[in-house]
Amino acid sequence: MAASARLPAGAVSAAPEPPRPAPGFADALRDALYAALITLGLSIPLLALRTEQGPNGLVLEPRWGLVAACCGIVFVGRLLLRLLGLRAVPSRRSMAARGAVTTRAEPERQSGFALSALLGPVFLGIAVTFPLLAYLSAGGLTESRYWVDLGILILTYVMLGWGLNIVVGLAGLLDLGYVAFYAVGAYSYALLATTFSLSFWICLPLAGILAAFWGILLGFPVLRLRGDYLAIVTLAFGEIIRLVLINWVDVTGGGAGISSIPRVTFFGIPFTNDETGFLGWMRWLLGWRDGAQGSLGWLFGPEGPTFSPMHRIIFLYYLILVLALITNLVTLRLRRLPVGRAWEALREDEIACRSLGINTTSTKLTAFAIGAMFGGFAGSFFAVRQGFISPESFNFLESATILAIVVLGGMGSQIGVAIAAVAMVGGPEMLRNLGFLSHVFGSGFDPNEYRFLLFGMGMVLMMIWRPRGLISVREPSVVLRERRAISGSHVKEGHG
C-alpha cells in the first residue's frame, strides 16, 4: 500500500508556497500536516472502506489502519523532504509572482548527441549476443527461455516504437490508434495461414501491405484534422478495428480469437524433432548422419546436437531482431531522402511546406502507410510467435504504451526509442520478480497487482523528469561542413 500512498505525497510536494531558502520547523510541520490531511481526504472512501460481496449485497470492510499508515507515511515523508530542503518536483515558476505562467526552459543537451552515437553500437552488441548471454547466465538453454522471451517482447516494442516514430516523431502526426495496424498484421497472418495455409514468409509481406493499405484508409479522413481531433479519430479507428475483431465472429473468431496458428519455420523447414525438421537438417549438414560423428563434436558432445524447443524461440528472437533492425535502417535512410525531410518539415510547419510545392496530402499518407506497414510486420510476427491471438491483445493500453515509448524516447530519436522500450517493457516485467517483498508486507502481498499502478505512476514521473524524452537532440539529415546536434528546444512537435 505504500505505493498508492506516494501519489498524495507527490501531490503536495508541488505545493503552492513560494520556495523558501531555509524552511523553519514549524512551517515544515504545518506543510506536512496539510499533506497528510489531503492524503486523508483522497483515501477516505476508496482506501478506508473496501466493498466486499456479502450474502445480501455489498458490505463495507473498514481499513482505517491502512489509511492511518498512508497518512503517516506522507506526513513523515513530506516533513523530511521539507526539512532537507528537497522538492520531489522542482518548482518551475518562471516568475516569482503568483499566477505567472509556468514555462519550462529546456536545457541544451548536446551531450546526448555524443551519447547516442556511443549507445548505438553498445545496444546492437547486447542485442545480437543476448541469447548467448542469457544462456550463459541462466546456465542452460531451457533455463534461458524466460530471458529470451523477454528479449523478444522488448524487441517487438522497439520495432513498434520505431514504426510509430515515423508517424509521430518524424511527421508529427499524433496517432493514438497505432495498435490497429499491429492487429491488422496479426490477423492477416493468422487468417491467411489458417484458411489458405500460406507460409509465414509469404504472409509477412502481405501483412505489411495490408496494414499499409489500412494506414492509407485511416489517413484519408484525418488529412485535414489537426491536433486533438486527429488524436481522437485515430483512437476511434483503433477501437473500431478492435470492436470489429470482437464482433465479427464468423471471420475472426470473436473474443475467443484464433488459435493454432502455424508456427514459424526456418525458411520452410519446421522446428520439429525429426529428420525433416530444422535439427535433422542441421545434423545432416554438420555430418551427424547414419550414426556417424560429424563436426563440432567439442561443442555438442558425442551425441551431436539434440532437439530443444528453444531453437524455435532463439530463431524468433533473431527474426524480430532482424525485423527491428530493418525498420531502423529504413527509417534512418528515409530521413535522408526527400520524403523523410518532407515529413520533418511537415512537423515543423505545414504551411511553409505547401508554399514550397510539397504535396502535404501524399506526404502525410506515406507517413501513415509506412508507419502502419512496420506495425503490420510486427503484428504478423506477434501472431506467429504466440500461435494464438485475440482482440484483447490489441487494446488501447498497447497504443498508449507504444506512444509513451516514442515520446519518452525523445521524438524522432531511434536510440532513445530503444532505451525507452527497454524501460517501459522491461521495467514492469522486473516488478514480477519482487516476490520477496511479501516478507515485508505480509503473505497476501502480490507485486503483480501493483505492476500497472506503478507503470502509470512511472509514466507520469518520467514525463515530469524529461518532458522532451530521453534524447531530445535532433541529428541533421544532411551536412555541409560540420555535424552539429540540434537542441530539442528548436524542434517543433507538429500540429497533428
Q: Which of 28, 36, 38, 261 binds another protein (CB under 8 A)?
A: 38
Q: Looking at beta carbons only, is 254 or 287 nearer to another protein?
A: 254
Please list every residue from 349 through 388 that binds another protein, using CB under 8 A: 349, 351-360, 366
Please list every residue from 324 through 353 that binds another protein, using CB under 8 A: 330, 333-334, 337-339, 341-342, 344-345, 347-349, 351-353
Provide the total of helices (H) and of strands (E) in the chain, helices listed first. 20, 4
Q: Looking at beta carbons only, is 273 or 395 nearer to another protein?
A: 395
- What binding mask, one character per residue, do residues 50-89 give for another protein by CB under 8 A, x or -? xxxx---xxxx----------------------------x
Q: Looking at beta carbons only, is 148 or 235 nearer to another protein?
A: 235
Please list every residue from 165 through 184 that binds another protein, using CB under 8 A: 168, 174
Number of residues that bind another protein (CB under 8 A): 117
Q: Looking at beta carbons only, is 32 or 411 nearer to another protein?
A: 411
Q: Looking at beta carbons only, is 8 or 371 nearer to another protein?
A: 8
Shortest distance, position 309 Cβ to another protein, whole Å: 33
**Which position has the grid cell 456479502?**
54
Please list every residue from 234 through 253 that binds another protein, using CB under 8 A: 235-237, 239-240, 243-244, 246-247
How far out from the chain centre does Cα 445 lie?
Answer: 27
- The dihedrals phi and psi of 269, each to the nearest 5 degrees, come to -95, 120
- What binding mask, one character per residue, do residues 469-488 give for another protein by CB under 8 A, x or -? -----x-xxxxxxxxx-xx-
Please list every residue from 403 through 422 that binds another protein, using CB under 8 A: 403-404, 407-408, 411
Tell me: does residue 23 bind another protein (CB under 8 A). Answer: no
How far out from the chain centre does Cα 460 lie?
Answer: 15
CA 30 – CA 159 distance, rounded (Å): 50
Q: Is 334 helix (H, G, I), strand (E, B) or coil?
A: helix
Shortest distance, position 277 Cβ to another protein, whole Å: 36
- The dihedral through the CA atoms of 465, 470, 476, 482 has a sign that is positive
| CB-based contacts of 338-343 (< 8 A; 24+ apart in sequence) | 339/363, 339/366, 340/170, 340/477, 341/477, 341/478, 343/166, 343/170, 343/171, 343/172, 343/367
Tell me: does residue 20 bind another protein (CB under 8 A). Answer: no
Shortest distance, position 102 Cβ to another protein, whole Å: 5
- The dihedral through the CA atoms of 397, 399, 402, 403 has a sign that is negative
Piece in contact with another protein (CB under 8 A), picked from 26-34, 131-139, 198-206, 400-408: 400-408
- What binding mask, one character per residue, do residues 184-223 give for another protein by CB under 8 A, x or -? -------------------------------------xx-
Piece in contact with another protein (CB under 8 A), picked from 128-136, 271-279, 285-293, 397-405: 397-405
Query: Do residues 262 and 195 touch, judged by C-beta distance below 8 A?
Result: no
Q: Which of 117, 397, 435, 441 binds another protein (CB under 8 A)?
A: 397
| Sequential DSSP letters for 196-252 | H---HHHHHHHHHHHHHHHHHHHHHHHTT--HHHHHHHHHHHHHHHHHHHHH-HHHH
- The dihedrals phi and psi of 52, each to the nearest 5 degrees, come to -125, 150
Largest Cα–Cα separation, the chain = 87
Q: Name the amino acid, one letter, at 54.
A: G
CA 242 – CA 320 distance, rounded (Å): 24
Q: Which of 33, 138, 216, 463 binds another protein (CB under 8 A)?
A: 463
Q: Looking at beta carbons only, is 325 or 457 nearer to another protein?
A: 457
**Bridge partners, residue 51, by sequence:** 60
The burial class, CB within 10 Å (0-12 / 13-18 / 19+), for 351 is exposed
Q: Looking at beta carbons only, is 16 or 139 nearer to another protein?
A: 16
Q: Which three cell numbers stand for residue 114?
A: 555524443
Please list every residue from 291 through 320 that binds another protein, using CB under 8 A: none
Q: Looking at beta carbons only, is 102 or 293 nearer to another protein?
A: 102
